[in-house]
């Protein structure tokens, strides 16, 4: 059962530096190279690296079993956690009936 996806590190690829004005004028072509060839471009403005156009990280599925393994290793709340939540809840303003009340 798939619960959600975790991000994995990017595949290593060589970055190409490109001037901002060229990145703007060639954006559709650059995006195709990122999408299909997994290229990474470092955008440079006035000699300074200001951004990066790169593929999103590869995602890995999380199974119910691996989720519970993560929960087992997670830090447990302290003994005051429940009372802190109750105090926060008690301090919340009351919400009116709203427009959907029948």
Give me the domains of the chain, ranges plus CATH numbers. 2-75 (3.40.1620.10)
Q: What is the C-alpha separation between 81 and 78, in angstroms, rounded?
A: 6
pTM: 0.47
Query: What pLDDT, in 10s, does the model give residues 29-59?
Result: 999 999 998 899 999 999 999 999 999 887 7
Select the more confidently predicted residue: 28 or 10: 28
Are residues 41 and 54 in contact, defined by beta-carbon separation less than 8 angstroms? yes
14: nearest Cα among 41, 33, 44: 41
In angstroms, the Cα distances linking 71 to 3, 67, 74, 87 are 13, 6, 5, 25
The sign one gets for the Cα dihedral 33, 38, 42, 43 is: positive
């Amino acid at each position: 059962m798939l619960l959600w996806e975790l991000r994995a590190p990017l595949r290593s690829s060589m970055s190409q530096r490109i001037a901002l004005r060229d990145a703007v004028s060639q954006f559709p072509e650059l995006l195709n190279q990122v999408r299909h060839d997994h290229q990474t471009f470092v955008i440079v403005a006035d000699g300074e690296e200001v951004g990066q156009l790169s593929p999103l990280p590869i995602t890995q599925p999380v199974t119910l079993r691996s989720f519970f393994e993560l929960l087992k290793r997670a830090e447990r709340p302290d003994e005051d956690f429940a009372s802190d939540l109750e105090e926060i809840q008690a301090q919340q303003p009351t919400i009116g009936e709203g427009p959907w009340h029948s």
